């Protein structure tokens, strides 16, 4: 699983530019599903058909494959690039961070000396990307090019580090689940959707949910933790203590019946789990929930420290627990 996580985490895929990560995932799921397609928004839609029968459901599982990034807005005569954010970027966490463009060019995020970074927090507009160029002619990048934080994936014991575990960790769960379902007896049709542009407004999930009309949906994403020093607001989610079942976030209330079934399954199978109330942020489930006439939807969240920074953290045991929970949940009838 760590090898899979490393490959997915190190593939390029800033929001709106997901081609490379989509190709990697497509290779990983080859032979595991019955149908694969790419829709107009760039979502990768993989269908694993079930046996059917009474009580069989159309189950949509969504993990977004895009990552936050930076977009070049101006290149000055000395070759320094000003930028804007693609998705939410913490200015505080950006200074000194390393970035990588789609062509492999590496840069460092610097801060304008006029911003007095030692005495106050600079705005994102005070930052620039430095690729070590002597002047503008040595810079290959153009306005509109994007980059993501780098370096890539590292594992230390059970803990994974990477700038984009939001949400490559969720993609790992979905790919690993498809691996384990390959020869499993499942009645339900599983629509595994690797969505685009979640970080800029849950856009891919919105169109995919409309097109697929699932009977129920579960998003796979990360969430914050309350186990850091002086965490504020207080939150009963900790790294390594189990997959978190979303009760509510700022964009949705998880479907009570679906959450109840997931909790029952976790308790029956002895799978460590937590209950999540996230006071800021949301997931693809919020968009799918409102598709067409509405979809019973919730999310399974992987506890993650330092979300939206160049060094996010996830525990492999929580990832494995999410896979176990989904496999057990899909293995029987689903009554909401």
- The catalytic site residues sit at 198
Q: What are phi and psi of 314, to 5 degrees?
A: -140, 150
Q: What are phi and psi of 245, to 5 degrees?
A: -95, 120
By 3-state DSSP, what share of the chain in percent is helix, strand and coil, each rounded to 5? Answer: 30, 30, 45
Q: Helix 165-181 crosses helix 19-29 at what angle (to 10 degrees)?
A: 20
SS3 169: helix
Contact yes or no for 71/102 (Cβ under 8 A)? no
SS3 109: strand
Q: Helix 316-330 crosses helix 256-269 at what angle (to 10 degrees)?
A: 110
Contacts of residue 271, Cβ cutoff 8 Å, sequence gap at least 6:
242, 243, 265, 321, 324, 325, 328
Contact yes or no for 143/75 (Cβ under 8 A)? yes
C-alpha span between 68 and 124 (Å, rounded):
14
- Which tokens in the block code for residue 54? 């009474």
- Which tokens in the block code for residue 11? 């593939």
DSSP, res 57? -
C-alpha span between 300 and 199 (Å, rounded):
17
C-alpha span between 318 and 158 (Å, rounded):
9
- Which tokens in the block code for residue 237? 């989610």
SS3 220: strand
Contact yes or no for 318/239 (Cβ under 8 A)? yes
SS3 260: helix
């Amino acid at each position: 699983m760590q090898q899979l996580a490393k490959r997915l985490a190190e593939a390029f895929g800033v929001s709106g530019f997901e081609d490379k990560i989509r190709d990697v995932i497509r290779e990983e799921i080859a032979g595991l599903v019955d149908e694969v397609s790419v829709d107009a928004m760039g979502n990768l839609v993989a269908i694993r058909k079930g046996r059917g029968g009474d009580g069989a459901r159309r189950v949509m599982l969504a993990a977004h494959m895009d990552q936050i990034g930076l977009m070049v807005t101006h290149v000055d005569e000395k070759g320094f690039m000003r930028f804007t954010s693609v998705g939410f970027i913490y200015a505080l966490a950006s200074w000194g961070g390393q970035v990588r463009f789609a062509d492999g060019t590496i840069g460092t995020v610097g801060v304008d000396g006029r911003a007095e970074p030692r005495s106050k927090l600079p705005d994102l507009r005070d930052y620039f990307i430095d690729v070590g160029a002597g002047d503008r002619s040595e810079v290959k990048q153009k306005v509109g090019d994007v980059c993501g934080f780098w370096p890539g994936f590292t594992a230390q014991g059970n803990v994974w580090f990477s700038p984009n575990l939001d949400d490559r960790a969720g993609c790992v769960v979905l790919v690993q689940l498809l691996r384990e379902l390959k020869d499993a007896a499942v009645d339900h049709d599983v629509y595994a959707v690797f969505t685009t542009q979640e970080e800029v407004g849950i856009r891919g999930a919105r169109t995919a949910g409309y097109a697929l009309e699932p009977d129920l949906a579960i998003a796979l994403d990360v969430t914050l933790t309350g186990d850091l020093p002086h965490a504020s607001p207080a939150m009963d989610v900790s790294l390594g203590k189990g997959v978190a079942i979303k009760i509510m976030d700022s964009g949705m209330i998880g479907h009570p019946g679906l959450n109840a079934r997931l909790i029952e399954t976790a308790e029956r199978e002895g799978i460590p789990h937590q209950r999540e109330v996230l006071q800021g942020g949301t997931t693809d489930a919020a968009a799918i929930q409102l598709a067409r006439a509405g979809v019973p939807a919730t999310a399974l969240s992987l506890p993650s420290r330092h979300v939206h920074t160049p060094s996010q953290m996830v525990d492999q045991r929580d990832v494995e627990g999410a896979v176990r929970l989904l496999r057990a949940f899909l293995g029987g009838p689903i009554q909401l």
